[in-house]
Amino acid sequence: MNKVLIIGEHDGKALNPATSKCVTCANTIPDADITIAVFGADTAKVAAQAAAVAGVKAVLRVDRPENEHPLAAIFAPQVAALAADYSHIFGPSTSFGKDLMPRVAALLGVAQVSDLMAVENAYRFRRPIYAGNAIITVEADASRKLVATVRVASFEAAATGGSAAIESKALTVALPSHTRYVGARSGSTDRPDLQTASRVVSGGRALGSAENFKMLFSLADKIGAAVGASRAAVDAGYAPNEMQVGQTGKIISPEMYIAVGISGAIQHLTGIKDARTIVAINKDAEAPIFEVADVGLVGDLFKIVPELEGMIGT
């Protein structure tokens, strides 16, 4: 049996869907026995959500005041302490998981497999390197614990309807005081979350200003989409960092991705290659985005976007 421990990501109120995608990934390991651990100040609510994910055997709650904010230096020694009973320790390849899991791996003295995109067997996986320009198959030492982050764009969310047992764990791990949470500025909106949205409208430098990005928000709201941006648009200050899609931003897999005024640099394409349908709107017919788009339209985005919005839902 392969005992898999998944570190649940949440904001205290809701379990991040990335966690459920980790469950889907873990389920592709033969003979997997899956536990989700949630760390927080009060995890009652998110633990209940984790217990409802189909395929999960058990949920561990680790509640203590120090766990209110997800600081890797605080969480890692606790995860390492829990790890004793498991062969595999997984986290999502989100900013939360990418920050935390290598610290856990190092405390356990083992390697980490980052951005696991497919499971071949319990210790053999596929993952992207060079911004997705090559895919490697790696084999890990089966005599050691395996720490991995799961590339969430490669897996669907698991179904709900499970009823795993929830257990509170009191860990007597000494925690460092050298790292303190100060605050956050989140761009939270009513729009769907970019990482997990089924539709995404994304803009590039051709938008020309933050003001012009409003056009994309308007289109996105019409079709219930999240809004993303290319690195060029974020660097130019047209959109905040959390909207960046690509190698160094978010890697996403929506049903539909509408790229507006995005030329399609390889680093951007890395972030969208798992999208079901890519729609590209660009004035340059030679733009590389058209090489990967399922539907392309050459033209002036400032005319096309309003016209498209006008024609949808009529």
Partner 1 sequence: MQKIMVCIKRVVDYNVRIRVKADSSGVMLDGVKMSVNPFDEIALEEALRIKERGSNIEVLAVSIGVADTQQQLRTALAMGADRAILVQTDAPVESLTAAQVFLALAKKENPDLIFLGKQAIDDDANQTGQMLAAIWERPQATYASKVEINGDKAAVTREVDAGLETIEVDLPAVITVDLRLNEPRYVKLPDIMKAKKKPLDVTSLDALGISAGQFLKTVKTEPPAQRQKGIMVKDVPELVGVLKKKGLI
Footprint of partner 1 on residues 266-295 (CB under 8 A)?
Answer: 266, 273, 277-279, 290-295
Indicate which single residue of 13, 31, 180, 286 sits in contact with partner 1 (rule: CB under 8 A): 180
If DSSP codes are grouped into helix, strand and coil, which group holds residue 46?
helix
CA distance linking residue 251 with residue 268, whole number of Å: 9
CA distance linking residue 233 with residue 187, whole number of Å: 16
Handedness of CA 152, 213, 199, 288 (dihedral sign): negative
Q: Record the tokens describing residue 141, joined without a space.
A: 């030492």
* Interface with partner 1, residue 241, by CB under 8 A: yes
In this chain, which stretch among 42-50, 107-115, 161-169, 204-212 interacts with partner 1, using CB under 8 A? 107-115
Least Å from the CB of residue 283 to partner 1: 14
* Interface with partner 1, residue 58, by CB under 8 A: no
Specify the residue, 164 or 281, whose C-beta has the smaller distance to partner 1.
Answer: 281
Least Å from the CB of residue 280 to partner 1: 9
Q: What are phi and psi of 4, to 5 degrees?
A: -105, 125
What DSSP letter does each residue of 198-236 carry, written as one string? SEEEEE-GGG-SHHHHHHHHHHHHHHT-EEEE-HHHHHT
Per-residue x/- marks for partner 1, 128-157, CB under 8 A? xxxxxxxxxxxxxx--x-------------
* Interface with partner 1, residue 14, by CB under 8 A: no
Specify the residue, 53 or 269, whose C-beta has the smaller distance to partner 1.
Answer: 269
* Interface with partner 1, residue 124, by CB under 8 A: yes
Q: Tell me how many residues contact partner 1 (CB under 8 A).
A: 88
Residues 201-220 that bind partner 1 (CB under 8 A): none
Write the CA distances from 263 to 5, 10, 296, integer angstroms. Answer: 41, 34, 12
Least Å from the CB of residue 295 to partner 1: 5
Q: Which residue has the tokens 């949470």?
A: 181
* Interface with partner 1, residue 37, by CB under 8 A: no
Specify the residue, 2 or 248, whose C-beta has the smaller distance to partner 1.
Answer: 248
* Interface with partner 1, residue 102, by CB under 8 A: yes
Least Å from the CB of residue 238 to partner 1: 13
Can you list the positions of beta strands (E) in 25-86?
A: 32-40, 58-63
CA distance linking residue 253 with residue 255, whole number of Å: 7
Residues 61-80 that bind partner 1 (CB under 8 A): 71-73, 76
* Interface with partner 1, residue 231, by CB under 8 A: yes
Q: What's the distance, CA 246 to chain centroid?
A: 12
